[in-house]
Chains A and B, each alone.
Chain A
Amino acid sequence: MQGKRRSIILILIISLSVVTSLNADSDSLWTEINGVNNGVSGFGLGLFPLGTDFEYLANFDMIPGYRHRALFSLDLSFGFGHVTLSGYDHQTGRPSWIDPSIEDAFDGQRYFRIWSQAVVFLQQGFGTNPVAGTGPLVELRLSFRSRVSNASEALSVSSDPSSSVFNKPPFDDSFEHFPAYPWLEGDRFNWNNSISFSTYWYMRKTTTRTSNYDGVYMDVTLETGPWWLGNDIWPDVVTSDYVKLSWSLTEYLTAYVSERDNGWNWVNLSFGHTNTAGYIWGDVVPEYQIQTDRLRGYLTDRIWIRFTGPQFIATDCYPYIEVSLNNNFYFGGVQNEVDASTWAMELKSSVTFEFHLRLFGFIHVRYRFGYDFIKGFLPDVPSWWQDAQLGFYVSL
């Protein structure tokens, strides 16, 4: 029954993709690679990518004669990497940060994860953006996601078999339920499906050639991955059963623009402010929906200042520097805790400095560092951190 349901879902995805693609204008179908994950230390000298994202997009007329065309997308992505298990009791889901008596022998142990997913969505715009005077005011999107993942031995297991989290109870091959880690149930091969409905609101206009705006942007998404959508691997084991509501609101202001004689930018100065909020309900939350410290709710506030320019060589070659102040408040029950007895809240605050370099529209280099001065449940010792990423974003 389970296999039949998944086959039906896949046949629907493929049929919808083929039919929609054949009905699209031939010149409006293109391919976009919108991200390549950063390499990780330990493989390929940490220099080469471990994941890629493809997106096929097709415009077509869903409402005959309407000024906004519909958009169909089939997004395929995959990736690999190590996952570190954190301190949650595998049977009760109780966190070690609320009950220090919980001794989780697997805290800090790693496993190797392969994941791949397909996302299809249908989108239609309505109204007119009142600030730009063109483009839709709101876009409505209906999405379906099917995601598979597998957990296996970690990279370092070749030199030390005892380092594999799956060579020890309870995660060895003795069958046991793991409510805190539903994605490690059974054969640790996971297949989750979810659907979502989103609205995107545009009340902003472009002010420069380097992605600066004036105005407001907002989105709201309701997503669910219920058990009946192919998320029950056995009659008594469910790997996903949740509902998530999320919201974001951003205000933009371009304060200063300086242009060269050829219309290219010397330097821009812009400000922005973003709030996000969300909450996730449900007894079984899959791995890709686990939130910070597993708390169900979040409310964030971010304010930034950005210096952009100059453009050089080509219009799509430019650097920008961004400084932001971030305050993140997490609250609510603990995801995948069986008795739902824990309720907690925490605040994390940081200042972040980012340097970005965009080259020829498809190379994006990012280096950033930050200072965490309030660290939530972690020992409240302020600390510096840094990371870097190289990405490729291409439209054909």
Chain B
Amino acid sequence: MSKRSAVILILLSTVLAPLGAIGFGYHVIEARAETDFAMGIFPVAVNYQFNFPVPDLIGGSMTELAFRLDNGLDFRTLRQNPEDGSFYACTGADHTLDYMVLYDEFRLLFNQGFWNDRFTLGVSIDGRFENAYESIAFKGQGDEGLFWDPDGNQRFDSFSGAPELAGGRSIFQTYVSAELGVDLMDDGIVTKDGLSFNSFFRITGPWMPLSDGSGDFLLSHNSLSVAKTLFSVSRSSGLEWFSVVLEGDFTYRYIHGSKVPLYVQGGELWPTWAPATEHVFTGEVSATFYGPQLTADTYLGISLFAGCGWSLGSALNSSQSGINEFVSVYGIKAELMVLDVLSLYWDWGFVNDPAFNEPQRAVSRLGFTFGV
């Protein structure tokens, strides 16, 4: 059976199996824009979920069987030399590092909640297509690209440092994933108190069915969020005139593997990055001024934030080892949330301790996201 036929069979089984029941659900988790495309005004990616009708196995807690599809464009920066995995921030580069990825990721997932959904366990079978292009700034021969030099020659001969870019710059990987969640957060939209924790595991390798062998890794991504409302002033309508909330978000990511695609490497810490090593810690604390609430889900928020990242161990897709690198940032974020659907944002950040030899710099961005 060909790969295409096998995928068709899986998808048809997924869609047709629950036809005997009524009550499909469907929602958009998020639509994203990219600041590199039309100032971030127009969407270029969407993540949506089909919920199959299954009864709750435990009273008061949700049982979820769903098919999730994430589709769109992603604009990326290559941090490591594809030929040997060395960090460009150490060695420098004489060409652009930006490129663009067209992707589709699907997940067939099962989640079960416990104790009124305060505790959640989930497993999923996943797959991901990717195809990498030059960035939208690249216009053809004579232009400076990542994959092509101005003479129209391929820039790299091998891709051990970026295995997903080898060959036709195309991958198809399948995975097994598991997720654990704890939700003890009292989230009143503009007031927050408590904590939440999430732990995500994903594994793949050449032994996975249908996979093209371009990925071989074990991922553990763990995140903790804590929040405390310092004070708030309520209106007679029950809405808030304003509130001040102190928040902290912390992650620990561990990856072990010989072929780790860039999308899973993590280490995001806007407006910079923590180098992709085996162990990466990131943390951000913020104080947010919310208000006024125009409706229950329409409000303005302005945050002052400071963050740091710490990378330890061997570099991914590279023989470089013994890395111990610290980065830190601070800045301000402003967001107008409309009906809990549309978010317009403007962010400004300063990288005061960048990775390796990169210079200090300030970055700003303007855009929007929406979801229901």
In Å, the complex CA distance between A46 and B143 comes to 31
Q: Mark A225-266, 1 if CB is under 8 A from B, else 0.
A: 000000000000000000000000000000000000000000
Q: Inside 8 A of A46's CB, which chain B residues have their CB? A: 4
Q: Mark B281-321, 1 if CB is under 8 A from A, else 0.
A: 00000000000001100100000000000000000000000
- Chain B interface, number of residues (Cβ within 8 angstroms): 62
Q: Known contacts being A33-B48, A80-B73, A114-B73, is A161 close to B38, with CB within 8 Å?
A: no
Q: Judge whether B55 is part of the interface by a CB distance below 8 angstroms.
A: no
Q: Inside 8 A of B31's CB, which chain A residues have their CB? A: 52, 54, 76
In Å, the complex CA distance between A52 and B45 comes to 8
Q: Judge whether A189 is part of the interface by a CB distance below 8 angstroms.
A: yes
- Chain A interface, number of residues (Cβ within 8 angstroms): 59
Q: Are B26's CB and A47's CB within 8 A?
A: no
Q: Judge whether A101 is part of the interface by a CB distance below 8 angstroms.
A: no
Contacting residue for B102 out of A43, A52, A54, A117, CB 8 A: A43
Q: Are B142's CB and A172's CB within 8 A?
A: yes
Q: Judge whether A48 is part of the interface by a CB distance below 8 angstroms.
A: yes
Q: Mark B136-154, 1 if CB is under 8 A from A, else 0.
A: 1111111100011000111
Contacting residue for A158 out of B73, B141, B168, B370, CB 8 A: B168
> Among B229-237, B327-335, B338-346, B351-359, which stretch is in contact with chain A?
B338-346
Q: Judge whether A86 is part of the interface by a CB distance below 8 angstroms.
A: no
Q: Are B37's CB and A167's CB within 8 A?
A: no
Q: Are B38's CB and A49's CB within 8 A?
A: no
Q: What's the nearest-Cβ distance from chain B to residue A56, in Å?
A: 7
Contacting residue for B28 out of A33, A155, A158, CB 8 A: A33
Q: Are A191's CB and B38's CB within 8 A?
A: yes
Q: Inside 8 A of B106's CB, which chain A residues have their CB? A: 48
Q: Mark B178-197, 1 if CB is under 8 A from A, else 0.
A: 00000000000000000000
Instruction: Classify the secondary structure of A's interface with B.
Output: mixed
Q: Are A158's CB and B139's CB within 8 A?
A: no
Q: Are A148's CB and B37's CB within 8 A?
A: yes
Q: Give the nearest-CB partner of B336 in chain A.
A: A18
Contacting residue for B294 out of A22, A152, A153, A161, CB 8 A: A22
Q: What are 25 A-B pairs with beta-carbon distances under 8 A?
A: A17-B338, A18-B342, A29-B339, A31-B28, A31-B372, A43-B129, A45-B4, A45-B129, A48-B104, A48-B106, A50-B102, A54-B43, A78-B72, A116-B44, A118-B42, A148-B37, A152-B134, A153-B133, A168-B141, A172-B139, A172-B140, A173-B142, A191-B38, A314-B22, A360-B22
Given A17-B342, A44-B129, list of 12 further CB < 8 A pairs? A29-B339, A47-B8, A47-B11, A48-B129, A49-B104, A52-B71, A76-B31, A80-B73, A148-B38, A167-B140, A168-B141, A172-B141
